[in-house]
Amino acid sequence: MEEKLERFKEIIDQHHRIVFFGGAGVSTASGIPDFRSSAGLYAEDQHRQLPAEEIVSTSFFQKNPAQFFQFYFDKLVYPEAKPNIAHQFMAQLEEQGKNIQIVTQNIDNLHEQAGSSHVHHLHGTTEHNYCINCGRYYSYEELILDESGIPRCSADQGIVRPDVTLYGEQLDMTVVDQAIRVMKEAEVLIVAGTSLVVYPAAGLIDYFNGQHAIVINNQPIRTHRLEPLLFIQDMTDVFSVLS
């Protein structure tokens, strides 16, 4: 363990262009549940009439906006969550002058709260919202809910939806293209808190051409063609030692 941590530190110290590719496990230490673990949202499906994947789909949102937003605000939005050691570690590296690019599957904005400037949200973010009628932008703090719990536009009373990718929708190709570009340019790739099973996001690591990949996950995962420096343990333990 100590030897691997020393190697991790050497790699970071000796390189400038670093991509951090993070999944739901990055935010669990901040109190935000993941989807696929035994304590995740999907594990709760047996107690619901409808599975989570159906509730956060485009078709369900369009037909049942009140139910959609009840689930969304209850299960997907955590305004009280604070950045953890992983978010802080990457922000510290940027402060030191390194080119840190964050590619995240998470819809929170904890990387931004920690101070990271270059964050590519593959699935959007709860911080960005827009009226489906006029396109007017709202931050999360600006949302005004009607009596049914549905956010409404102050200009035309249209529904204000989160700018996140729902099931049945395509990823924002502008963001995907940005993620591909930074992957290709990176010297170091850090993969953390993801099982690498959600596509097309997981396929992005195939664009990495650098020499050094580091994977941190609390369970073994398939790392495709990468031959990484591998940590099968809690992410916070690793970053706590390095900070």
* Catalytic (active-site) positions: 123
> How far apart are the C-alpha atoms of 86 and 111, rounded to whole Å?
9
Tokens of 32: 């935000």
> How far apart are the C-alpha atoms of 88 and 154, rounded to whole Å?
36
Q: What are phi and psi of 19, to 5 degrees?
A: -110, 130
Length of the chain: 243
Contact 183, 205 (CB under 8 A): yes
Q: What is the distance of C-alpha 238 from the center of its chain?
A: 19
> How far apart are the C-alpha atoms of 224 and 21, rounded to whole Å?
14
Contact 233, 218 (CB under 8 A): yes
Q: What are phi and psi of 188, to 5 degrees?
A: -130, 140
Tokens of 195: 């099982």
> How far apart are the C-alpha atoms of 113 and 236, rounded to whole Å?
18
CA distances from 216 to 25, 27, 78, 130, 222 (A): 10, 14, 24, 35, 12
> How far apart are the C-alpha atoms of 11 and 229, rounded to whole Å?
10
